[in-house]
Amino acid sequence: MAIPDPQAQRRVLNRLKRARGQLDAVITAVEEGGRCRDVVTQLAAVSTALDRAGFAIVSTAMKDCIADPERVATDEDGLTAEELEKLFLMLA
């Protein structure tokens, strides 16, 4: 999915890279026998980072849909307002 707004794309990529780093830390902690509380806390952080990235992607698509519904209807993704709502609810 292309995110037309370069700032929004940068924010999403930063969140995803942060999540990747946190996931690497979880994997290392499990490999090294880390404490359960620490592993679960870090996993929660990964989950939150991924959720926020997903919300940012859907939010950007919704903004585009409101700003230019004709373009979104013919977009290569072909996302309708109903599909955007479903994507949003998948993250909830």
Domain ranges of the chain: 6-91
Identify whether the C-beta of residue 72 lies closer than 8 Å to the C-beta of residue 32.
no
Residues 6+ apart with CB under 8 A from 81: 65, 69
Segment 68-92 shows an average pLDDT of: 69
Given this structure, which CATH class describes domain 6-91? mainly alpha
Record the pTM.
0.71
For the stretch 19-30, pLDDT in tens is: 999 999 999 999
For the stretch 36-75, pLDDT in tens is: 999 999 999 999 999 988 888 888 877 776 666 665 555 5
